[in-house]
Amino acid sequence: MTPSWPGSWGCRGPCCGSSTGWRAGDVQVDLAHHLHVTRAAVTTIVDRLAAAGLVVRESSPVDRRVKLVTLTPKTWQVLGLHYRPAGQRVLALTETMPPTDVDRLTQHLSSITEALTSDS
């Protein structure tokens, strides 16, 4: 089952938290603007991701000329292979930390996340 969040990559809506900063609910052409690359470059990238089975293009229900880029279940499997070990190492590290240090770390990471996902 495909997670409902982030279903489509783009520049509107809540941040999906990916390393690219792409956001949920937008269209392929907006990726070019957000990533500061040409539309042709985004087309090439999306073509490669689609060929690898990581994304599918879908027509917008509002305007069929607009293409949405949607993640596939395979994407989540690949991301899990890469990010799960890192998360396990961080968890192991925090288990050795005093609770006050874990609280401070959590506060700092929350501040960083808020700064990266704010609209300003």
The helix (run of H) or strand (run of E) holding residue 55 is: strand 55-59
Are 55 and 68 in contact by the 8 Å Cβ rule? The answer is no
Are 68 and 8 in contact by the 8 Å Cβ rule? The answer is yes
pLDDT in tens, 22-75: 544 468 888 888 888 999 999 999 999 999 999 988 888 888 888 888 889 999
Give which of 59, 54, 68 is closest to 13, Cα–Cα.
Answer: 68
Task: Give the separation between CA 58 and CA 2, rounded to whole angstroms.
Answer: 15
* Residue that has been written with the tokens 């090439």 in this structure: 44
